């Protein structure tokens, strides 16, 4: 198996936000930002794997700060973790007011991409060379996110999963439960 450094597939792209990218409140539409994030995740994963990659999942999409029309948005993507055929790409989104120079962190997200061959079959990806503490932390955090997701899916898909196990917990939320007596 061959190995590649994280730096060898790191990508950055910038784009000026225009009125056509805005939503009804005059801010940049989150869906447009997600589209750009998917593009940079694809480019980063494909550069690492040297093949076509598809999006398998997106984890932790939190819109932290709004992006304004006229802001310069910069996205930075790097490989955080690799599996046998998958690549976790971490993306950081920042916006800059080009008149004042003020920078805002708008989003960080994690895209899991799967490498495919020309027939659409999953293919092995190169291993990862990690060479600093930040890269180790990102790799470990990606593993923990995967572990948490698998645990959650296992709990929810279990035949033993029952709403009655959670009724007491639900009382602490803003919900009124009105089930029929025979339910």
- Per-residue pLDDT, 48: 98
Chain Cα centroid distance, residue 162: 30
Residue 176 pLDDT > 90, yes or no? no
Rounded to whole angstroms, the Cα distance separating 30 from 177 reads 33
Rounded to whole angstroms, the Cα distance separating 114 from 130 reads 20
Q: What is the pTM of this model?
A: 0.89
Other beta carbons within 10 Å of 21:
20
- Per-residue pLDDT, 183: 62
The string of pLDDT tens digits covering residues 40-49 is: 999 999 999 9
**For the chain, what is the mean pLDDT?**
94
At residue 110 the predicted structure's pLDDT band, cuts being 50, 70 and 90, is very high
Q: What are the strands, taking DSSP E only, across 17-102?
A: 52-59, 72-82, 86-96
- Per-residue pLDDT, 171: 84
Over residues 148-159, the mean pLDDT reads 89
The CATH architecture assigned to 3-130 reads Roll (3.10)
Residue 67 pLDDT > 80, yes or no? yes
- Per-residue pLDDT, 178: 85
- The closest alpha carbon to 49, from 111, 114, 110, 109, belongs to 114
Burial 84-111 (b: 16+ CB within 10 A, else e): ebbbbbbbbbbbbeeeeeeebebbebbb
């Amino acid at each position: 198996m061959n190995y590649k450094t994280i730096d060898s597939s790191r990508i950055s792209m910038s784009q000026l936000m225009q009125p056509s990218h805005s939503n009804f409140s005059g801010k940049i539409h989150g869906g447009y930002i997600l589209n750009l994030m998917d593009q940079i995740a694809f480019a980063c994963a494909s550069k690492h794997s040297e093949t076509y990659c598809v999006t398998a999942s997106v984890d932790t999409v939190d819109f932290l700060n709004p992006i304004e029309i006229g802001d310069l948005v910069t996205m930075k993507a790097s490989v955080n973790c690799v599996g046998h055929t998958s690549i976790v790409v971490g993306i950081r989104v920042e916006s800059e007011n080009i008149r004042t120079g003020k920078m805002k962190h708008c989003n960080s997200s994690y895209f899991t991409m799967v490498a495919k061959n020309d027939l659409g079959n999953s293919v092995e990806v190169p291993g990862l060379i990690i060479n600093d503490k930040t890269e180790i932390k990102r790799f470990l955090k990606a593993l923990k996110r995967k572990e948490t997701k698998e645990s959650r899916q296992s709990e929810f898909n279990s035949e033993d999963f029952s709403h009655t196990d959670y009724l007491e917990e639900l009382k602490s939320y803003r919900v009124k439960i009105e089930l029929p007596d025979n339910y």
